[in-house]
Amino acid sequence: MPTQGASITVAGGLDLVSSSHALFRTPGAATILENFESATTGGYRRVSGYTKFGGASSAIPSGVATESIEGLIPYANGVVVCQGDDIYWSTDGINWTQINKDTYKTKTGTVSVTAGSATVTGSSTVFTTEFAVNDRIQINNVNYRVLSITSDTVLTLDYNVVTTISGQAVKKSGMSSSDLSSATVSIRTNQTNCQFVNYESEGIYGTLYITDGNNKIAEFQITTSGGSNVFHFETLERSSPINPKRCTIYAERLVVAGQSDSDSTVSYSTRLEPYNFTGSSAGSIDTGDVIVGIKVFRNTLVIFCKNSIFELTNLDSTPILKSVTKNIGCVDGNTIQEIGGDLVFLAPDGLRTVAGTARIGDVEIGSISRKILPLINDLLDNIGNYTISSMVIRERSQYRLFYYQSGQAASGQKGIIGTFKFDSNGVPAFEWSQTKGMEIKRCTSALNTSNTEVQFGANESGYIYTLDSGNNFDGSNINARFQTPDMDYGDNGLRKSLYAVKANLEPEGTNCNLKLRIRYDFESTDVPQPGEFSIGCLSSAAVFATSLSVTNAGKFGTSTFGATTLPSKRVLVTGSGFSNSFRFFTDDTDASYSVNGMFVSFIAGGRR
């Protein structure tokens, strides 16, 4: 009998809820998609790995592996890490600087101040030389900002002092890294689940604010002088909320929420003064529900509560608090991310979007994770056992959520990847996959000063990792599996004897370990099932230089010549059945690759 063929385009992502009959119509979907990601350009790509930040010379920030990493964020071409009860910064992962230090240094002369006045009178001071407007200044252990400088002996603070004092030393914030090493530690206790926000209008790198629910708001900034870094660190006073859990920047203000004495209240600073919660444009709003997260979106501040969601606007006049929904809340604030022109968060019924929730009035269709409902239900049923973290990979339109279980073996650590795409009808949707063996307890991503996206992560090893990097999980294999649904090629009553599979693959380097497994009739034990088939070696094509500046392009000994950009690997196969599934899999540290589709050749047999 003549050979027939069917072309299968890989698309749709993981589908764990559709019936086997429905999946006959979507053969390019996946019933298993582990350590693959749905690519925005089509197909399923084996994920990249993660490597130690600093490579073989990497160091643990605190030097103590057992001290828990409670948060991290890219900052100043490096990364800030909260580990144990201290905070560290590094640009290379090898040399770490502890930054929670008293960075105020005594300057020339002494000063006198009067209660109720903002004027500082100096004796033997040189204000015009040693200070500038907006510098951090400390008098009598109280921190201010310099509002104006009249002369070497007169300057004005940004708010009135409380206590009259004379002959007092005057200090200015700012230390070099060498001075910082011997500076007094600014004590923090029981740091946990640290949150960060960058007030980007200040300095070349902006000013970082840190909250964790147990300590005062921390303020950290790196400025430069003469080409060298100058470090500034302090904790906020001025009637600032004592120990908020969450922070963001909105309407040119620092906004915090989740403080222990009022967990339903959002507090915001004076406009353009994120360090000042006492000015006329500062204030607070009580939502009446426990706040678990805050996020700026479309010129509004979205407030995620335990059982409700609100929008806050109009802080420059009379604040307006508007209810988005009073029937759906957020399970964990660490799941909130902006992607695809919307905010994604984990609700009690799955992953949702804010605009979707507001638009459809809380009906189930607002959930964007219906196709992976079994994974979501398992996560929700056991959420108390997990530390949740999430991030966005912007260049791939990807939402990643990790749920880390302390004490669990690496192979048992799980995560979810959602790629925001438009389907063939132009409808926006997420395509999902799953990670296994990726040990990520904390994660973060951001654009650095070169506008390049960087991603960092941490687990309980004490090290910081560069995510989406390399071809292994910190030296361990990446075990990747993609399995199609059973497909019947349009006729479930006709037996097919498979003859060949021509897989359309896109390698990113050399990988000789890709295998194919075929199972017939829903893996029936009554049907002979063939062994696995080797796909053969995949090699990326050589890239020839278009200019002399392209390093190693098409260089002898570094590239594979004769390979095609999108090779098709034809594999002769065996077996027969009324339907069959395909599984592509690797378990190695070789280069990533994408499976874009396949052409299946078969011979029609008898009809049942």
pLDDT surpasses 60 at 258: yes
**Which residues are bridge partners to 84 per DSSP?**
none
Q: How many helices (H) and strands (E) does the chain have?
A: 5, 45
Distance CA 262, CA 274 (A): 20
Contact present, 115 and 164 (Cβ < 8 Å): yes
Q: How confident is residue 422, by pLDDT bands cut at 50, 70 and 90? A: confident
Question: 233 is written with which tokens?
Answer: 């660190």
Mode of pairing for the β-strands spanning 387-393 and 398-404: antiparallel
Q: Name which of 158-172, 399-413, 448-462, 533-547 the model is least confident about.
A: 533-547
Predicted local distance difference test score (pLDDT) of residue 541? 65
pLDDT, tens digit (0-9, with 9 covering 90-100), for 564-597: 556 789 999 999 999 999 999 999 999 999 999 9
Q: In sequence order, what DSSP letters do the residues of 327-368 get, joined into one string? A: S---S-GGG-EEETTEEEEEETTEEEEHHHHHHHTT-GGGBS
Distance CA 424, CA 422 (A): 7
Task: Name the CATH architecture for the domain at 104-173.
Answer: Beta Barrel (2.40)
Distance CA 480, CA 47 (A): 8
Q: What average pLDDT is seen over the chain?
A: 93
Of the candidates 500, 502, 485, 472, the residue with the CA atom closest to the CA atom of residue 589 = 472
Q: What is the pTM of this model?
A: 0.93
The residue-averaged pLDDT of 521-536 equals 97
pLDDT surpasses 70 at 289: yes
Question: 554 is written with which tokens?
Answer: 């098409």
pLDDT surpasses 50 at 556: no
pLDDT, tens digit (0-9, with 9 covering 90-100), for 51-64: 999 999 999 999 99
Predicted local distance difference test score (pLDDT) of residue 41? 84
Task: Return phi, psi of residue 64, to 5°.
Answer: -120, 110
Chain CA centroid to CA 84, Å? 21
Predicted local distance difference test score (pLDDT) of residue 341? 87
pLDDT, tens digit (0-9, with 9 covering 90-100), for 326-348: 999 999 999 999 998 899 999 99
Predicted local distance difference test score (pLDDT) of residue 363? 34
pLDDT surpasses 80 at 116: yes
pLDDT, tens digit (0-9, with 9 covering 90-100), for 370-406: 999 999 999 999 999 999 999 999 999 999 999 999 9
Spans of all domains in the chain: 3-31+484-607, 104-173
